[in-house]
Chain A
Amino acid sequence: MITITRVPPYLTVQNGGRRNSRSLGVPRGGAMDLFAIRAVNAIVGNSLEAAALEWALGGGAVRFERDCVVAIGGATARATLGGRIVPPCTASYARAGDELVVDQLTSGRFLYLACDGGIDVPILLGSRCTYLPGRFGGYEGRTLRSGDTVKLGERPFSRPAAGFHSGADLMPRYDSEIVHVTRGTQADLFDESDWRTLTESDYRISMASDRSGYKLEGPAIRNSLGMLPSEAGCPGAIQIPGDGLPIALMADAPTVGGYPKIAVISEADLPILAQRRPGESIRFQLITIEQSQRALKRRGSDMLTISQLASRS
């Protein structure tokens, strides 16, 4: 069990998201940074799809009520466990009663905290992830509060060695200025100059950005197309609404929508955008679907490397 002793401004239970529910209007959901949540799971010896805590917007503290292996990753945090500094993406052993204190998130937006055994909340529509707009999933469909206790699952058979660390070279380059995109379903409806605008401008993450989408501020892209008949969108799709300012759809994005989609963020790079805070910038670079799939395969093999190193440590 974990007790939330001092809740950060945002704390939810998440995992890899839902499958086979989008035709009911239920978004994929799950962690904003799928690579980071899977990496911290791998480091503590969990299945990659185990549930972990998604933490944002500030510091806080949680207490472990049983011995467990814990790891944090994603956003960079100043954190201590039982008074000792917790390095990122490292297996740390917590004794029952130890408190993990996150002082502050120094860079990035979403911190993931995994414990061996995973967070044990009921499975709804095939997943343990929290969908806040629908008030379901995760812990009673809501953000956690101080005093809440969340159950942990059974500890995995094999445990990584204390101090096992996944190198930064196996993680996405979160400081990259470039986020790669492929052509979207309505790419052909935009002309050369629209594409130059999209790929040669700096776009800043707006304050109007949340788990459903990041509004981007920068040069507007002409949208003379208006609304099209609704069709499926997905996390990473970049749609151009009437005001011309792109919206990157994120984990909780509506399943279908009518704005034209000029591009789709390469799945390998989506964690980089997810970890950008309002006010920070990115630049888009166009690649082919084949290049995008190769990049995703590299991420997949990096994840496999992390899992294998953890199980052998």
Chain B
Amino acid sequence: MFGTERSAELLHEIHSAVRALEAARIPNVEDVVPAYLALTVFYDSLRVSYREISAALLAACDRVSDFGKGPTPRTHRIPVRYDGPDLDFVATSTGLSVDEVVARHSGRSYTVDLLGFVPGFGYLGELDPALHLPRRAAPRPRVVAGSVAIAAAQTAVYPLDTPGGWHIIGLMQTVMFDPTRSPPALLAPGDTVKFERVQ
């Protein structure tokens, strides 16, 4: 746990710690998962105790003096057809016209906060405050791959068919995840995403 309030600084600190842990290649660490407030480490508890692994993890984080140096962020332009099933609902709920919803969604750049949920799913922020809506009361059992969706202060693209509770406003065709590609995920934390309206 790094903090209790979401912030860009906290997220930066957490991603830097991930890089430090990856660079340290600590034995028996099986996975490192960054999120908004916490960094979770999975380890082989049959081979190493909680006390030992904690000491090794903390030491690795301490050894890195500059947390800031990550890979150079990239900018991705993703063409979107804005005709999602929830577009009218979003317009009605926000009191905006459909065109205004589209203009506000495609009118700004988003930062990739983190990848998670399903392969290649990027949590993107920060959405125009006028578009903030809570998630759907009942998640859809199936959201089709390529759906562009919004919820609260975030927007995202569904890389594969999955259940989902966000409001779907559009569809895109960019391949977000390919396990045979290197790197497999199109997006990386810190990257910038711009959505471009297409008919």
Contact = CB atoms under 8 A, between A and B. Distances in A.
A134 B31 contact: no
A230 B39 CA distance: 11
A23 interface: yes
**Interface residues of B: mostly helix, strand, loop or mixed?**
loop
B80 interface: no
Contact of B121 (A19, A25, A267): A25
A80 to B, nearest CB: 36
Most B C-beta atoms less than 10 A away, residue of A21, A234, A255? A255
B30 interface: yes
A74 interface: no
B141 to A, nearest CB: 9
A255 B37 CA distance: 15
Nearest to A26: B119
Interface string A227-243: 10111101000000000
Contacts of B59: none
A22 B33 contact: yes
Contacts of A229: 6, 35-37
Interface stretch (B40-48, B69-77, B90-98, B101-109): B40-48
Contacts of B162: 133
Interface residues of B, number: 36
B11 to A, nearest CB: 10
B116 A256 contact: yes
Contacts of A23: 18, 31-34, 114-116
B146 to A, nearest CB: 14
Given A124-B179, A296-B45, A20 B30 contact: yes
A300 B46 CA distance: 7
Contact of B50 (A20, A231, A289): A289
Nearest to A124: B179
Interface in B1-56: 6, 18, 30-38, 40, 42, 45-46, 50
B120 A25 contact: yes
A230 B117 contact: yes
Contacts of B35: 229-232, 256
Interface in A123-177: 124-125, 131, 133-137
B65 interface: no
List the 3 closest A-B pairs by CB distance, nearest first: A232-B40, A256-B116, A229-B36
16 contacts: A19-B30, A20-B30, A21-B119, A23-B33, A24-B115, A25-B115, A25-B120, A25-B159, A26-B184, A230-B117, A232-B40, A255-B116, A256-B35, A256-B114, A289-B50, A293-B50
Interface of A: 19-28, 124-125, 131, 133-137, 185, 227, 229-232, 234, 254-257, 267, 289, 293, 296-297, 300
